Amino acid sequence: SSELTQDPAVSVALGQTVKITCQGDSLRSYSASWYQQKPGQAPVFVMYGKNNRPSGIPDRFSGSSSGNTASLTITGAQAEDEADYYCNSRDGSGNHGVFGTGTKVTVL
Amino acid sequence: EVQLVQSGAEVKKPGESLKISCKNSGYSFTSYWIGWVRQMPGKGLEWMGIIYPGDSDTRYSPSFQGQVTISADKSISTAYLQWSSLKASDTAMYYCARLTVGATFVYFDYWGQGTLVTVSS
């Protein structure tokens, strides 16, 4: 399958930890990347692979992977982390890319 | 500083043609893939296709093959996305983004600001 499945929505209390997951067969072979998108804004690249953060992304964001599941964890969530999050990887053929279905994170 | 600057919003009628652009600066345009991503109103991100400006190698997602054309002009570091005959269902925000590719990973590290395309009679 070339699909990447995410939970539609999760909520987290301010300062607590939330894990966003991405499932797909292609993740057994290829790493995931992660993007944060706030309303009315372009996506922002926040993570790829196992805990590789681009410069400027806070270290409360971390990445991990096991089997067919990739995860993005926010440890100590802040109000500004409220956004939609998308995973991305190659599809099963390796010739194309595919985005996950997206997860809306609400910080309470 | 890497920048991707997209052309402005467009309002078109069904059946019309359109070409939107993505001007790149701050890096070697011919050394990275550029991708196009669609986001329909209230929906998620969709991978449309990618182009390598160095040799114009172009790869379309199966869902978009034959529906759009991706091209690039390396003399002006600009990538393009075009339609020959727009449909109302093409109404969406379109993003260009620079793609870094490895053996087991891909990621879009820099994004344009988006071009809103509205198709309505």
DSSP category for residue A38: -
More confident residue, A45 or B104: A45
Tokens representing A77?
């969530």
Mean pLDDT of chain B: 97
Of A4, A99, A103, A104, which to mutate for an interface test with B (greatest number of B Cβ within 10 Å)?
A: A99
Asked if the model's pLDDT at residue A82 lies above 50, the reply is yes
Asked if the model's pLDDT at residue A96 lies above 90, the reply is no
d(CA B107, CA A75): 23
Q: Closest Cα to residue A13, out of A59, A76, A83, A63?
A: A76
Binding-face residues of A in 13-72 toward B, CB within 8 A: 29-31, 33, 35, 37, 42-45, 48-49, 54
- Taking residues A27-47, report their average pLDDT: 96
pLDDT at site B76: 97
pLDDT at site A2: 58
Q: In Å, how far from its chain's centre is CA A25?
A: 16
Find the residue in A nearest to B36 (Cα): A97
User: B38-78: per-residue pLDDT in tens?
Assistant: 999 999 999 999 999 999 999 999 999 999 999 999 999 99
Binding-face residues of B in 11-70 toward A, CB within 8 A: 35, 37, 44-47, 50, 59-62
More confident residue, A51 or B7: B7
Mean pLDDT of chain A: 94
d(CA B39, CA B91): 9
Asked if the model's pLDDT at residue A1 lies above 60, the reply is no
User: At B83, which amino acid appears?
Assistant: W
- Taking residues B68-89, report their average pLDDT: 98
Asked if the model's pLDDT at residue B100 lies above 60, the reply is yes
pLDDT at site B18: 98
- Taking residues A18-47, report their average pLDDT: 96
Query: With an 8 Å Cβ cutoff, are A88 and B45 in contact?
Result: yes
User: At B36, which amino acid appears?
Assistant: W
Query: With an 8 Å Cβ cutoff, are B106 and A43 in contact?
Result: no
Tokens representing B57?
């190698």
Q: Closest Cα to residue B61, out of A3, A46, A5?
A: A3
Select the residue of A37, A45, A49 nearest B105 (Cβ to Cβ).
Answer: A49
Question: Taking the C-alpha atoms of B52, B92, A94 and A70 in order, what is their torsion angle to the nearest 10 degrees?
Answer: 120
DSSP category for residue B32: S
Where does A16-107 show beta strands of DSSP type E?
17-23, 33-37, 44-48, 61-66, 69-75, 83-90, 97-99, 103-107
